[in-house]
Amino acid sequence: MKIVFTKILFGLLLILSLIIVASAQDLQTARRNLMPVPSSVNWQSGRLNVTKNFTVAVKGNTDERLKSYIFRVMRRLEGRTVLEMSREISSDASATLLIETNSTGNAIPKLGDDESYNLEITNNQAKLTAPNTVGAMRGLETFLQILEGDKDGFYFPAVSIKDQPRFAWRGLMIDSARHFMPLEVIKRNLDAMAAVKLNVLHWHLTEDQGFRVETRKFPELYLQGSDGDFYTQEQIREIIKYAADRGIRVMPEFDMPGHATAWLVSHPEIGSGKPGETYEIERRPGIFDPTLDPTNEKTYKLLEVFFKEMSALFPDAYMHIGGDENEGKQWNANPKIQAFMKEKGIKDNHQLQTYFNKRILKFLEKNGKIMMGWDEIFQPDLPKNVVIHSWRGQKALADAAKLGVTGVLSNGYYIDLMFPASQHYAVDPIPADTTLTAEEQKRILGGEATMWSEWVSPETIDSRIWSRMPAVAERFWSPREINDVDDMYRRLSIIQNQLEELGLTHRKNQAMMLRRLTNNQDISALQSLVSIIEPVKEYKRYQVRPQTMLSPLTGLVDAANADAPNARIFNRAVSELIAGKDSEINAENIRKMLGDWRSSQNGLQNLMATSPALAEAKQLGFDFQKITEIAQEALDALESNRAKDSAQKSAEWREAQLKTLAEIAKSKAGLEIVVVESIKKMVLAASEK
């Protein structure tokens, strides 16, 4: 017993010490460019060199989906290596890449499909084994991420990987309703989703601002509710196939009873407004009153037919009915509805919505669909065989799980709100301190990031999604313990770069937009500014810079993005400097950045003066100049302090700078300079006793 105990203790100590010495460098070595990080990775010594003689073989089961996937992966490998390789897929067991699968799996993916795979790379061969085609797809993406290059050429480092997802539901919601997204936007986003192992496209298709799906039963719905921007059923089938070919489910959402203005443009009779009330497509963002009438049999007559048609069109077992943000104003104001509630003994609007949901549930069940909806649909008297989609948080989801109801988390993954990747990355669908039992935990199916489209266009949507989405995808796929933020950002940058090979535009469109804003002038000075500013967060944009759904999304706020790259580097250097960590290196880096900023000032002022499209951001140019000066003064003082000079800044100086910084901290043109807090810290440190 004693010996065993000692061994365990020794083992624990060893693990502990390994954890402690694990530095950024170790993580870089351990995780290389993998994102999401697989559940088990063991690097070996050795390398599989990549030459033009690279070959692929498939053993066991195969199908067209797998062959097409291999074809595309091979073209990407060729693109990166600039080597032409054979297009043959043989069954030769000695091929460079040998793929073994036992089954094609579901041609149209289903929740719970096995997505696991093993990947063994030695000096001679890469061997990918998976129970089915989708597992092989996931493994192929990992394989591509492993590619490295050095002076001796491209190679795959030897490795042994065993991998499977932590959560079965790993989604991205795209709102095609507020701003319509053409087919190619959806396709390229599906490509990127597959690259980071996401498996659900939640497609938000109806809203106050648009009805985006062809229905043959009620063509007036899209003809009058979409400005002509809708998906035909043929296009939807094309997307479903495109997604299935990448192991991705497509779940449609038809948001109701609220968020329904676009329905009522052609069918005012099923709205809850006054008799004879008419509706127009909503152009503003926000929460609106128009709501389907749950007391009107015409509503159900239409919806029954509609859901039958949509159930046939969308093969996925789940159908999302929204259900959010119904404030019930039309219901309260409508005497008929009030009378109905009284008659039926329905006590409040929640109960009325549950009445509505139960009726809808029957339509869905009749067509073999499982109902999914936002938190609001979860009411005590609704049956438990629904899926709760939580925008409210992990607690709501845990509460539901305890009651036997499954759920998916989106709270914390609202990527439209322009928060940094680190913030989303820190949110776990099942936090480490969960009190849920193992059984209950299984009811948390996973998570979904939401790309609400108030302020995105086809030109900018990729930048809003892929600036942070790979970090969220990792949270959904990888073990909970994969959570080092610095290493996440390192890998994120590489993955973002690779995604553009798929036709994504998240990086390349920024320079184009800046060129348009300046009418073809040299944009380098503007890029210096853009790399430390971010759009305002949460729902502030509309408050500080109102626009409608018809407005051009081509301003500086649209070109800028969350996670401004230089701001993150600067803020980190300041934190460390003040904490006394690597002071010399950090001071030097800060000095260098300030030098870059200073050298951009003239060019920036000139751009601002000659580009009317930048007029709204003029003050940001002045602010940029000012923070550069203040930071430089503070840095000089801090440096003197370190050198034990007596350059301590006065309290008056401090107060003056803080006052200036408080003004600069206010957003302008929907943007904020995100290094202001750091410069404030520098000012405080420079003037401390």
- The tokens for 146 are 């492993």
Q: Is 613 in the site for a copy of itself (CB under 8 A)?
A: yes
Q: Binding a copy of itself by CB under 8 A: which of 241, 515, 572, 626? A: 515
Angle at 481 between CA 480 and CA 485, to 5 degrees: 100
Burial 455-466 (b: 16+ CB within 10 A, else e): bbbebbbbbbbb
For a copy of itself, give the closer residue by CB, 83 or 305: 83
When asked if residue 592 is in the footprint of a copy of itself (CB under 8 A), the reply is no
Q: Judged by CB under 8 A, does residue 229 bind a copy of itself?
A: no
Q: Is the CB of 367 or the CB of 554 nearer to a copy of itself?
A: 554
Beta-carbon count within 10 A of 295 CB: 20
Q: Which pair of structure tokens corresponds to residue 398?
A: 């845990």
- Least separation in angstroms between residue 76's CB and a copy of itself is 9
Residue of 120, 325, 588, 629 with catalytic role = 325
Minimum gap (Å) between residue 232 Cβ and a copy of itself: 12
Question: For residue 178, which of 225, 113, 126 has the smallest C-alpha distance?
Answer: 225
Question: 24 vs 512, which CB is nearer to a copy of itself?
Answer: 512
For residues 41 and 34, the answer to whether their CB atoms sit within 8 Å is: yes
Which part of the chain contacts a copy of itself (CB under 8 A), choosing from 22-30, 72-80, 369-377, 383-391? 72-80
Q: 40 - beta bridge partners?
A: 162
User: With binding defined as CB under 8 A, does residue 17 bind a copy of itself?
Assistant: no
CB under 8 A: which stretch of 292-300, 304-312, 446-454, 603-611 binds a copy of itself?
603-611
Instruction: Kindly state the smallest distance separating residue 151's Cβ from a copy of itself, in Å.
Output: 6
Q: Which of 16, 44, 87, 297 binds a copy of itself (CB under 8 A)?
A: 87
> What's the sign of the alpha-carbon dihedral 17, 477, 115, 403?
positive
520 binds a copy of itself (CB under 8 A): yes
Q: What is the nearest approach in angstroms of a copy of itself to the Cβ of residue 149?
A: 4
548 binds a copy of itself (CB under 8 A): yes
Among 28, 39, 55, 81, binds a copy of itself (CB under 8 A): 81
Q: Would you call 201 helix, strand, or coil by DSSP?
A: strand
Return the bridge partners of 59, or none. Answer: 100
Taking CB under 8 A as the binding criterion, the range among 94-102, 408-416, 547-555, 674-682 that sits at the site for a copy of itself is 547-555
- C-alpha 42/C-alpha 163 separation (Å) is 11
- Our CB check for a copy of itself shows the closer of 42 and 68 to be 68
From candidates 30, 61, 83, 102, binder to a copy of itself by CB under 8 A: 83
For a copy of itself, the closer CB: 49 or 379: 49
Please tell me whether residue 91 binds a copy of itself under the rule CB under 8 A: no
Contact status: 527 vs a copy of itself (CB under 8 A): no
* Closer CB to a copy of itself, 75 or 480, in the complex: 75
Residue 511 is a binding residue for a copy of itself (CB under 8 A): yes
Binding of residue 406 to a copy of itself (CB under 8 A) = no
Say how many residues touch a copy of itself, by CB under 8 A.
47
Q: Name 252's bridge partners.
A: 203
**Amino acid (1-letter code) at residue 459:** E
Own/partner contacts of 212-221, CB < 8 Å, gap of 24 or more, are 212/176, 212/177, 212/180, 213/252, 213/310, 215/306, 215/309, 215/310, 216/309, 217/305, 217/306, 217/309, 218/266, 218/267, 218/302, 218/305, 218/306, 220/266, 220/267, 221/262, 221/263, 221/266, 221/267
Out of 232, 519, 543, 602, name the contact with a copy of itself by CB under 8 A.
519
Catalytic residue check, 325? yes
- Cβ atoms 243, 250 nearer than 8 A: yes
Of 24 and 609, CB closest to a copy of itself: 609
Q: Name the one residue in this structure whose structure tokens are 């809203």.
A: 207
Which residue's CB is nearer to a copy of itself, number 384 or number 508?
Answer: 508
Residue 61 or 554 having the CB closest to a copy of itself? 554
> Is 176 in contact with 169 (CB distance < 8 Å)?
no
- Identity of the amino acid at 553: L
**x/- letters, 169..188, toward a copy of itself (CB under 8 A):** ---------------x----
Angle (CA) 81 87 92, round 5°: 105
Report in angstroms how near the CB of residue 669 gets to a copy of itself at its nearest. 10
Site string for a copy of itself, 549-588 (x = CB under 8 A): -xxx-xx---------------------------------
Residue from 4, 5, 19, 150 that binds a copy of itself (CB under 8 A)?
150
Tell me which stretch binds a copy of itself (CB under 8 A): 81-89, 327-335, 337-345, 348-356: 81-89
Compute the least distance from the CB of residue 234 to a copy of itself, in Å: 10
- 3-state SS, one letter per residue, for 72-83: HHHHHHHHHHCC
Report, in Å, the least distance between residue 283 CB and a copy of itself.
10
Which residues, numbered 480-509, are part of the site for a copy of itself (CB under 8 A)?
A: 493-494, 497-498, 500-501, 505, 507-509
Q: Residue 281 is encoded by which pair of tokens?
A: 């497509």
Return the sign of the alpha-carbon dihedral for residues 75, 81, 82, 86.
negative
What's the angle, vertex CA 632, arms to CA 630 and CA 638, rounded to 5? 105
Residue 79 makes contact with a copy of itself by CB under 8 A: yes
Chain-centre distance for alpha carbon 398? 22
CA distance 464 to 506: 7
Cα angle: 3, vertex 9, 13; to 5 degrees: 145
| Complex with a copy of itself: residue 547 or 657, whichever CB lies closer | 547
**Smallest distance from a copy of itself to CB 554, Å:** 4
User: Smallest distance from the beta carbon of 591 to a copy of itself, in angstroms?
Assistant: 19
Q: Give percent helix, percent strand, percent coil of the chain, each to the nearest 5.
A: 50, 15, 35
Nearer to a copy of itself, 492 or 635 (CB): 492
Applying CB under 8 A, among 60, 61, 78, 269 the residue interacting with a copy of itself is 78
Q: How far is it, in rounded angstroms, from Cα 684 to Cα 651? A: 9
Contacts of 374 (CB under 8 A, 6+ apart): 322, 323, 324, 388, 389, 390, 391
What stretch of H or E contains 157?
A: strand 153-163
Query: CA angle at residue 28 from 25 to 30, to 5 degrees?
Result: 110
Residues that bind a copy of itself (CB under 8 A): 75, 78-84, 87, 149-154, 184, 493-494, 497-498, 500-501, 505, 507-509, 511-512, 515-517, 519-520, 547-548, 550-552, 554-555, 609-613, 615-616
Active site residues: 325
